Amino acid sequence: MKKAILFLFAVVSIIMLFGVSGQVMAASAIVVAPDVQPRMMNPHGDDSDAGLQYFANFFDGLLQRKGSEGTLAPALAESYERLDALSWKFWLRKGVKFHNGNSFDAADVKFTFERLSNPDVSEFTNTGKSIDTIKILDDHTVVIKTKQPIPWFANNMHQIFIMDKESTEARDPGDVMVKAIGTGAYKFVEWVKGSYIRMEANEDYWEGAPPIKKVEIRPITESSTRFAALVSGQVDIVTGVPVELYDKVVSNPKIEVVRRPARRSIFLSLTNKPGTPMEDIRVRKAMYMAINEGEIIEKIMRGHAAFAAQIPDPPTIGYKAEIERLSYDLEMAKKLLKEAGYENGFAVTLTGPNDRYVQDAKIAEAVARYLAKVGIKVTLDVKPKSIFFPEVNQGKTDFYLIGWFDGTFDMGRTYFKLAHTRDSEKGYGEWNGANYSDPEIDKLLESTADIIDVAEREKVLQQLNKMAMVDKIIWIPLHYQVDLYAIQKGKGLKFSPRPDRWMVYKEISK
Amino acid sequence: MGCRGRRRAAPTKSIMGTYIARRLIQGIVVILVASMFCFVIFQFTGDPVVNMVGQYATFEEAEEVRQLLGLDKPLYVQYGRFIWNALHGNFGKSYVTRVPALGLILERFPATFELVIIAVCMAFSVGVGLGVVVALKPYAMRNRLIMAGSLGGISIPTFLIGILLIMIFSVYVGILPAFGRGETVRVGFWRTGLLTLDGIKHLILPAITLAMYQLAVLLRLTRAGMREVMTEEYIKTAWSKGLAPRKVIFKHALRNVLIPVVTITGLQFGELIAFSIVTETIFQWPGMGNLLLTSIYENDQPVIVTYIMMAALIIISANMIVDILYAIINPKIRYD
């Protein structure tokens, strides 16, 4: 017994002697602690931005989104052209090699797009099944023909990562899930699940070798631990600085906080089902006017959010700068409710996630309190996202809090999911969880499906946006989130966050 | 050696055999019931299909995935098929990572096992050691302080201990890392952190956090046992025979006290392996508990149910081993 204690003390004291943690890393190596774990290394198996940000380092799409503005730029395709309403022609880059040495050519593109429709390995079945044929004209030219016109098809090409046909077919399916072989700026080195992912620079990268040679990603989902890891110097960059720790992080002289307005807007969805109070636009307007968004931004988001008057953000096709928020006006709200015959208010359940957006549950609580001031009795029902999202998808809710941004920078696709009447035949309205339905909206929306010309799309989508936000009040917009990152000052890293929150390490330099 | 009481015949093999068989059958029933509970609860935890089909999928595409996974079938068919496959060693594929659930869990086992074994060793050695010290002079100021501290160990929640340790040793003093497992070495399939200095440094804080509660329990148990035994006749005899204090305390007294202490340690060992969730989350320890929590967040049903079955198996086996050892150590105990 005594020996055991002695041994323990000996071990502990030896370790204390060695002291001072924090590894000395090679000059161009960084350790990054994002707030999400990767699910897999199969680039088609996870369509969330949390997952895509990992794949984007190992793989390339036909196109890419570059830098802090998210500009669409060539990647594995040097150029592309829309031949007609359905056909897209891509001229592929020559001389690109996968990390295993195989050459990249048209067969890999065909293989990739066919793989998308297999639900066993893909969450992009929607894109996969929208494709009719993939024609290989020669080794470096392909024509992809879709079943229906998809105006935003090319806009989404930065999310579809090209895989190597030969090796993917030859490898064990389980191996494909955990090891990435792409053409990307970084080669996959090792993934120890729950611990870290290591990658090293692809010196033969077609865009030139990236400046940071070694990247170690150590996801830390627990926010206080992430903060401790940063302060103790164990990591160089963290994503998702929690707003409640913001002041602490900012006051630390060793750390620099980088803010970036996010693309995602947070809003409330309302039903207009016949028989519900919200059927009356005056009620929806009153609810809008009763919410003190300024206070939500100040008190709950601690200033890290910006007013939203609509769902899309400025660079998105369909954003209309002229749309303004309805002012916060309790008297007006009460008056509107009185006119609508709800002078004494009514009861409604507000659903929302509690583990998805920044301060989501607290925002919902605040909304409930504001609505109580005009007599609307809100029952709160916030729950984990894994339960909440299926409920929205099944249309079981009347009033809920949700956030959205569209990776295509074109609101067309999103509006079909969010605003169109639920229609399983046509595949519309899957995320219209409150069953909002308006034939005028549907008609205008359907008319945009065939519009290819960007200027024309912009015009109609803006018209649609105005109709939804001003004339009909389908949603109550709240705010755009602000993404917060923190980096070690001493490292001299040059890092400007992307609008889509992806961590693309080739864009970081010393 | 009066301490052992009257000797009786050791349990015969056949009685022990029946006992083990009975416990095994009970164990299987428990595992089946636990897994069945999981399936019933899954009915209320949301539709996994929506979370795995991609955000732009149509209803039709979601339906296809549902059929692919067999989630369109009635509950009893789903459960029956799961058990049937499980009997063949196939626990299904994780909905989230699309690789076999069992492999995913086993991959995390070494991390948890190492953490728990170190924590249990710490708790046992320090807990029992202090317990003896305190029992010998219960009214000394120092020992009263230790007892008060042990109350803290029992009542302060694990997450708070963990965060406090991180704040002190990682953030302020800066000598121990705040999270993760550090440098690991692969020995066959086993990834160990015990062979590198970095790995051991990473282990200290989480192991202390995990050990704290158990240490306090063992300390109090040992102290109570020692105080009782020290008043026994045979100890007085030992003293009066003029035996060395060390011999009296360790050989005669402590040995008798250790039986319940070992039992508790063994039982807790199983539970810690299965449910060191809080500690693993705070320190982002890549063990099984961390995996379970992530899987619950993501509603990854195959992983959750496999985990629960494995946890039940571990706890049942630990209990059974303790029971059997108990019968061997103390022949007075019979299972019939």
Burial class (CB in 10 A: 0-12, 13-18, 19+), A23: middle
Structure confidence at residue A20 as a pLDDT band (50, 70, 90): very low
Residues A197-240 have pLDDT tens digits of: 999 999 999 999 999 999 999 999 888 889 989 988 899 999 99
Structure confidence at residue A18 as a pLDDT band (50, 70, 90): very low
Cβ atoms A232, A464 nearer than 8 A: no
Q: What percent of chain B has pLDDT over 70?
A: 94
Instruction: Give me the torsion for CA of A109, A115, A121, A126, rounded to 10°.
Output: 100
CA distance B119 to A485: 35
Asked whether the predicted pLDDT for residue B6 surpasses 60, the reply is no
CA distance A428 to A416: 6
Residue A199, pLDDT score: 96
Contacts of A190 in chain B (CB under 8 A): none
How many interface pairs between A and B have CB atoms less than 8 angstroms apart?
Answer: 195
Select the highest-mean-pLDDT range: A19-23, A408-412, B149-153, B201-205.
Answer: B201-205
- Partners of residue A377 on adjacent β-strands: A347
Asked whether the predicted pLDDT for residue A426 surpasses 80, the reply is yes
CA distance B91 to B82: 7
Q: Is B71 on the interface with A (CB under 8 A)?
A: no
Asked whether the predicted pLDDT for residue A25 surpasses 60, the reply is no
State ipTM: 0.82
Asked whether the predicted pLDDT for residue A12 surpasses 90, the reply is no
- Cβ neighbours for A125, distance < 8 A, ≥ 6 positions apart: A116, A117, A118, A119, B53, B54, B57, B61, B64, B65
> Out of B45, B179, B283, whose CB is closest to A386?
B45
> Out of A1, A126, A390, whose CB is closest to B54?
A126
Q: Select the more confidently predicted residue: A467 or A17.
A: A467
Residue A89, pLDDT score: 97
Closest B-chain CA to A218: B180
Select from A386, A413, A488 the residue whose CB has the most chain B CBs within 10 Å, as the one to mutate to test that interface. Answer: A386
A105-117: average pLDDT: 96
Q: What percent of chain A has pLDDT over 90?
A: 77
Closest B-chain CA to A42: B97
Q: What percent of chain B has pLDDT over 90?
A: 47
Structure confidence at residue A368 as a pLDDT band (50, 70, 90): very high
Which run of H or of E encompasses A190?
strand A186-192
Residues A254-275 have pLDDT tens digits of: 999 999 999 999 999 999 999 9
Q: Whole-number mean pLDDT of chain A?
A: 91
Residue A6, pLDDT score: 55
DSSP B137: S
Residues B279-314 have pLDDT tens digits of: 999 999 999 999 999 899 888 999 999 999 999 998
Rounded to the nearest angstrom, the minimum Cα separation between A327 and chain B is 33
Asked whether the predicted pLDDT for residue B3 surpasses 60, the reply is no
Q: Do B286 and A193 touch (CB under 8 A)?
A: yes
Q: What global pTM score does this model have?
A: 0.85
Residues B114-139 have pLDDT tens digits of: 999 999 999 999 999 999 999 988 88
Work out the end-to-end distance of chain B between its first and last CA atoms, rounded to an integer number of angstroms.
28
Which of B123, B110, B71, B97 has the alpha carbon at shortest distance from B273? B110
Residue A304, pLDDT score: 94
Q: Is B54 on the interface with A (CB under 8 A)?
A: yes
